[in-house]
Amino acid sequence: GENVEQHPSTLSVQEGDSAVIKCTYSDSASNYFPWYKQELGKGPQLIIDIRSNVGEKKDQRIAVTLNKTAKHFSLHITETQPEDSAVYFCAADGSSNTGKLIFGQGTTLQVKP
Amino acid sequence: NAGVTQTPKFRILKIGQSMTLQCTQDMNHNYMYWYRQDPGMGLKLIYYSVGAGITDKGEVPNGYNVSRSTTEDFPLRLELAAPSQTSVYFCASSLGGSHYNEQFFGPGTRLTVL
């Protein structure tokens, strides 16, 4: 089955700097790769996603890149702000058509003012 | 829309007790999921359902049961609670289909088994 590895597990940056979180996946049949943000005491919330027919997608200060050949995808946050501090999860859908997602282990991002 | 709601928010169980975690969504989503989240371990899928009357096991189903009698509700049953089931439980739902994968999560239930 699908396996998703996420790095780093913790990341600390200064406000205004960029942050990059990387994930690798094992199932070449995966074609949907979402990123979720989880604030303290809340459920995860989708912030951006990408499908296998696209190499990059941007939404204001966040972007996701996908390299299907290497089976890895990354989240890029530019001009970080203290409110970006949270846990971020990547996921992949594997080869099933049930909507199931396999999640990475999560990255705790701390943005220092 | 309230989205995905979960009750209770917190619960402490004694070893061997049973309980049901409730999950309801008002978005008319076909697919629903139960995850557990342990510290540093990400989200692990317990059970999922692709429609009323249809359920299937995820990665970590042992010690749990589910039912899906309506589109809206997807309760998770813990029988004979064990300390290993101490975790935060999240319910999620999605519309379903290859282009509607976004999962919407509830606020979670924090369960402690002592």
What is the per-residue pLDDT across A68-86, written as a single tens digit (0 to 9) for each?
999 999 999 999 999 999 9
Q: How far apart are CA A95 and CA B8, in angstroms?
A: 34
Amino acid B100: pLDDT: 66
Amino acid, single-letter form, for residue B61: P
Interior angle at CA A113, CA A9 and CA B39, nearest 5: 25
User: By percentage, how much of chain B surpasses pLDDT 70?
Assistant: 96
Indicate if the pLDDT at residue A109 is higher than 70: yes
Q: Give the whole-angstrom CA distance, residue B31 versus residue B91.
A: 11
SS3 content of chain A, % helix, strand, coil (to 5): 5, 55, 45
Model confidence at B42, pLDDT cuts 50, 70, 90, reads: confident
pLDDT > 70? residue B97: no
Note whether B86 and B56 are within 8 A (CB). no
Q: Tell me: pLDDT of A1 over 90.
A: no
pLDDT tens per residue across span A2-59: 899 999 999 999 999 999 999 999 999 898 999 999 999 899 999 999 988 889 999 9
Q: Do B90 and A101 touch (CB under 8 A)?
A: no
- So what's the pLDDT on residue B19? 96
The shortest CB-CB distance from B108 to any of A43, A98, A102 is to: A43
Can you tell me which residue has the tokens 């990408």? A50
Binding-site residues on chain A for chain B (CB distance < 8 A): 6, 9, 32, 34, 36, 41-46, 49, 89, 93, 97-106
Name A96's Cβ contacts closer than 8 Å, sequence gap at least 6.
none
Query: How near does any CA of chain B get to the CA of A92, in Å?
Result: 11
Q: Does the beta-carbon distance from B42 to A103 stay under 8 Å? A: yes
Band of residue B55 on the pLDDT scale cut at 50, 70, 90: very high
pLDDT greater than 80 at residue B112: yes
Residues B21-35, mean pLDDT to the nearest whole number? 96
Backbone angles phi, psi at B85, to 5 degrees: -90, 5
Residue A98: other Cβ atoms inside 10 A: 17
